[in-house]
């Protein structure tokens, strides 16, 4: 069973968290290169799982369009939003307090080398967490992430965004699970570049209509990830 060091970084700037996960990501890649150079058998590393929340920030993936952010640079600054272009897949997304942002830094050579399966497992951990709260969630074939089905006049709602990057089969970036963020902050973007009238963004608290315990949700997500990927948390 693989060993994963879990860290809850709390509220941390996007740049600081990005630098930290990049450092961990590079270290896992470097050890693979070193083992190959020295013709040594690569032993299982300690993988990492970071949870955090960010101050309000918009991030644009490498395949995204700046047309999907609806504020200009001055408006972003005036309203207190940061903005970063990054190397994950996907388009524009929002991170802010009340989200669980998860960054798995796994060497997938020690799990499985299947990007599609990796993303499905991240989605599945959120789907199982929502089931704990009696919320039905599912996937939409055309889009990554976790969605809730239409309900009367209420459209499909995205509750978790996923954007990943892999290099030498070491993972970077991850997921953003809307537990209780300010949903109006999504109005400043076309979330994930999806501008369909029948799709919206939601949160766990919005769906339940009552407060939820952030720590309880974190523990559920972490537990489901451990079961799906079959790792032991350090």
Return the DSSP state at 184.
Answer: G
Alpha-carbon distance 216 to 157, whole Å?
22
Active-site position among 4, 176, 192, 217: 192
- E strands present in 12-155: 46-53, 57-60, 82-85, 92-95, 99-105, 138-140, 143-148
Whole-angstrom distance, CA of residue 224 vs CA of residue 194: 28
Q: Which residues have CB under 8 Å from 146's CB, separation 6+?
A: 123, 126, 127, 130, 137, 138, 139, 158, 159, 160, 162, 177
CA distance 130 to 119: 17
CA–CA distance, 65 with 63 (Å, rounded to integer): 7
From the list 230, 225, 229, 228, the residue with the least C-alpha distance to 50 is: 225
160 is annotated as an active-site residue: no
Q: Catalytic amino acids?
A: 192
């Amino acid at each position: 069973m693989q060993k994963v060091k879990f860290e809850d970084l709390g509220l941390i700037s996007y740049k600081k968290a990005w630098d930290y996960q990049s450092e961990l990501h590079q270290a896992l890649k470097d050890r693979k290169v070193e083992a190959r150079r020295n013709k040594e058998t690569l032993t299982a590393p300690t993988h990492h799982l970071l949870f955090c929340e960010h101050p309000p920030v918009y991030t644009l993936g490498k395949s995204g369009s700046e047309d999907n952010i609806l504020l200009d640079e001055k408006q972003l600054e005036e309203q207190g939003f940061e903005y970063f272009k990054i190397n994950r897949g996907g388009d524009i997304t929002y991170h802010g307090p009340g989200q669980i942002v998860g960054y798995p830094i796994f060497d997938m050579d020690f799990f499985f080398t299947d990007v599609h399966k990796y993303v499905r497992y991240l989605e599945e951990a959120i789907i199982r967490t929502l089931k704990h709260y009696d919320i039905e969630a599912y996937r939409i074939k055309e889009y990554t992430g976790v969605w809730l089905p239409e309900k009367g006049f209420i459209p499909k709602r995205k509750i978790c965004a996923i954007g990943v990057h892999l290099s030498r089969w070491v993972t970077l970036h991850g997921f953003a699970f809307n537990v209780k963020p300010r949903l109006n902050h999504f109005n400043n973007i076309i979330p994930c570049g999806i501008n369909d009238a029948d799709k919206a963004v939601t949160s766990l608290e919005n769906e339940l209509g009552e407060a939820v315990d952030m720590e309880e949700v974190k523990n559920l997500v972490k537990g489901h990830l451990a079961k799906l990927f079959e790792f032991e948390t350090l």
